[in-house]
Amino acid sequence: MTAKNIQDIKIEDIHDLFDSIIFLRGEEYFEEGLVTSIEPVDSCTITGTVRGNQNYNVSISVDADGDILCDCSCPCDFNCKHAAALLLKWLSIKNKFIKKLKQVKPLKKETLTQILTKKSKEELIELVETFVDKHPELKSYVAIERKELTSKIKALFSGFWDWHEIRSLISQLETILEGIRKNKNQWDKKLLEEIKVCSTIIMNNFDNIYDEGDLGIFLEDWFLTYGEIFTHLKPTVKQKKEFIQTIIDWVDEDDYGYDGSYNQALLGMCTTEKDIQLIKEFTQTLKLEYYDDYYDTFLLQLYDKIGMNKKYIEIARELGLTTDLIDKLISLNRYDEALKECEEKCKKEFSLTIENKRISILKKLGRKNEVQKSLLYLLEKTGNLSYFIKLKQESSKNEWKKYLKDIIFDAENKKRHTLLSRIYYDEHDYKKSYEYVQSMTDINYLELLAKKLRTNHPELACNIFKKLCYEWIDAGSGWPYKKAGKMLEAIKKIDKKEDFFEKTKKEIILKHKKKWSLMDVIENI
Residues 482-488: contacts with CB under 8 Å, at least 24 apart: 482/521, 484/508, 484/518, 484/521, 484/522, 485/521, 485/522, 485/525, 486/28, 487/447, 488/522, 488/525
- Mean pLDDT over 113-126 rounds to 84
Highest mean pLDDT of the ranges 114-123, 203-212, 276-285, 304-313: 304-313
> For 367, how many CA atoms within 13 A lie in the half-sphere containing its CB?
14
Instruction: State pLDDT tens for residues 36-68.
Output: 999 888 888 889 999 987 888 999 888 877 788
Distance from C-alpha of 355 to C-alpha of 217, rounded to nearest angstrom: 29
Closest CA to 328 of 289, 356, 300, 354: 300
Task: For residue 93, give Cα distances in angstroms to 9, 96, 132.
Answer: 12, 6, 44
Higher-confidence position of 126 and 510:
510
Any idea of the CA torsion for 78, 82, 83, 86, to the nearest 10 degrees?
-160
Distance from C-alpha of 41 to C-alpha of 38, rounded to nearest angstrom: 10
Cβ–Cβ under 8 Å, residues 269 and 195: no
Cβ–Cβ under 8 Å, residues 298 and 284: no
Compute and round to an integer the Cα radius of gyration of the chain. Answer: 29
Instruction: Please provide the DSSP assignment of 135-159 as one string.
Output: -GGGHHHHS--HHHHHHHHHHHTTS
Closest CA to 83 of 42, 22, 11: 22
- Mean pLDDT over 6-31 rounds to 84
Per-residue pLDDT, 19: 77
Per-residue pLDDT, 104: 55
Closest CA to 2 of 18, 14, 13: 13
Using 50, 70 and 90 to split pLDDT, how confident is the model at 118? confident
Is residue 431 pLDDT above 50, yes or no? yes
Burial of 360 (0-12, 13-18, 19+ CB in 10 A): middle
Q: What percent of the chain has pLDDT over 90?
A: 57
User: HEC states along 372-429?
Assistant: HHHHHHHHHHHCCHHHHHHHHHHCCHHHHHHHHHHHHHHHHHCCCHHHHHHHHHHCCC
Q: What percent of the chain has pLDDT over 70?
A: 94
The structure's pTM equals 0.71
How many helices (H) and strands (E) the chain has is answered by 29, 4
Least confident of 242-251, 280-289, 404-413, 466-475: 280-289
Cβ–Cβ under 8 Å, residues 29 and 52: yes
Q: Round the average pLDDT of the chain to a whole number and report it.
A: 88
> For 292, how many CA atoms within 13 A lie in the half-sphere containing its CB?
5
Distance from C-alpha of 388 to C-alpha of 377, rounded to nearest angstrom: 10
Distance from C-alpha of 78 to C-alpha of 194, rounded to nearest angstrom: 38
Closest CA to 463 of 472, 454, 475: 454
Per-residue pLDDT, 236: 97
Least confident of 32-36, 126-130, 425-429, 494-498: 126-130
Instruction: State pLDDT tens for residues 376-425.
Output: 999 999 999 999 999 999 999 999 999 999 999 999 999 999 999 999 99
Using 50, 70 and 90 to split pLDDT, how confident is the model at 3? low
Is residue 153 pLDDT above 70, yes or no? yes
Beta strands in 73-184 (DSSP E): none
Residues 380-384: contacts with CB under 8 Å, at least 24 apart: 380/407, 380/410, 381/350, 382/352, 383/411, 383/414, 383/416, 383/419
Distance from C-alpha of 78 to C-alpha of 18, rounded to nearest angstrom: 10
H helical segments located in 287-351: 289-305, 309-319, 322-331, 335-348
Per-residue pLDDT, 331: 95
Pairing of strands 68-72, 55-62: antiparallel
Distance from C-alpha of 15 to C-alpha of 34, rounded to nearest angstrom: 20
- Mean pLDDT over 15-27 rounds to 82
Closest CA to 97 of 40, 46, 45, 49: 40
Least confident of 32-36, 62-66, 185-189, 492-496: 62-66
Residues 6+ apart with CB under 8 A from 448: 20, 23, 24, 425
Q: Quote the DSSP letter at residue 321.
A: -
Per-residue pLDDT, 1: 44
Give SS3 for 252.
Answer: helix
Is residue 169 pLDDT above 80, yes or no? yes
Type of residue found at 65? D
Cβ–Cβ under 8 Å, residues 87 and 26: yes
Instruction: State pLDDT tens for residues 305-347.
Output: 999 999 999 999 998 999 999 999 999 999 999 999 999 999 9
Cβ–Cβ under 8 Å, residues 351 and 345: yes
Cβ–Cβ under 8 Å, residues 83 and 58: yes
Least confident of 139-143, 392-396, 472-476: 139-143
Is residue 136 pLDDT above 70, yes or no? yes
